[in-house]
Amino acid sequence: MLDDYLVRALLAGIGMALVAGPLGCFIVWRRLAYFGETLAHAALLGVALAFLLEVNVTFAVFAVAALIAVALLAMERRAGLAADSLLGILSHSSLALGIIVMSAMTWLRVDLMGLLFGDILSVSRLDIALIWAGGLAVLAVLALIWRGLFATTVSPELAAGEGVSTDRVNTVFMLLMAVVIAIAIKIVGVLLITAMLIIPAATARRFARSPEQMALLAAVFGVLAVSSGLAASRLWDPPSGPAIVVAALALFLISLTPLPGRLNPARRRAPQIPDHADAGEEQ
């Protein structure tokens, strides 16, 4: 069965969606879209270093993304700059370094389209195993820190007062983000990773009544986006990665349509997550 490239692509995409959905909820709640974009840009530097040092691409991307996340925490304490300013510095610097390293390897021929937008149709059995193993590990850790991470998202001060180690929880969350970006880069590419973290979660928020329900629905919408995007790619031959993201966008736009009766998202109460800036900048 795994000899069919479409089956392999579907399994890989579902594995990514199941983990990206719940994690993306915290990105939406904390207003950390720019942080996700920063790690995605750092992924390009990871890919360049992987080719230069001849190491595994997934491992290199995770190492660089994790380093960027830790650097952000360290710089916040010492630089005296706002988080968005630091993210801008790290994002563009890592992207520029990645391009410089790539351009220095004149002997290397890289599929830039596949790197930037993903190539889910080329995933191997090893890629599927890595995606599912990494995804299950991320979900397991997320379940363990869910209560503390959610409390920190709502109010870092109250969470600290209840004995939650906010620094440790935030560090673990950032490392989980690095893992997801490392395993997702081959599927949707550097430029589209953040979209798959944010759009299904934003769609789920329209329907969810609790944070846990929102995480579950985000995973479901992610799976639907992957399935629809691959089907569209098979029928009309657009690039698979962008097709998946456009399918996710279509689901989000449909969620904005008023529906009659109890199905109307406007009549449901959204998860009680604060939207103030502190929740997104407490990193």
How buried is residue 135: exposed, middle or buried, by Cβ count under 10 Å (0-12/13-18/19+)?
A: buried
The pLDDT of residue 51:
87
- 57, 46 Cβ separation under 8 angstroms: yes
Q: Which pair of tokens denotes residue 44?
A: 């390009």
CA distance 202 to 273: 13
CA distance 155 to 150: 9
The segments of the chain whose pLDDT lies below 50 read 2, 262, 266-267, 270-271, 276-283
The pLDDT of residue 144:
96
The pLDDT of residue 278:
43
What letter does residue 118 receive in the DSSP assignment?
-
Residues contacting 112, CB < 8 A, separation 6+: none
Gyration radius of the chain's alpha carbons: 19
The pLDDT of residue 32:
84
pLDDT in tens, 58-104: 899 999 999 998 888 788 777 667 777 888 888 889 989 988 988 88
All structural domains of the chain, each given as residue ranges with its CATH number in brackets, are 5-281 (1.10.3470.10)
Mapped onto helix, strand or coil, the DSSP state of residue 21 is: helix
The pLDDT of residue 276:
45
- 222, 15 Cβ separation under 8 angstroms: no
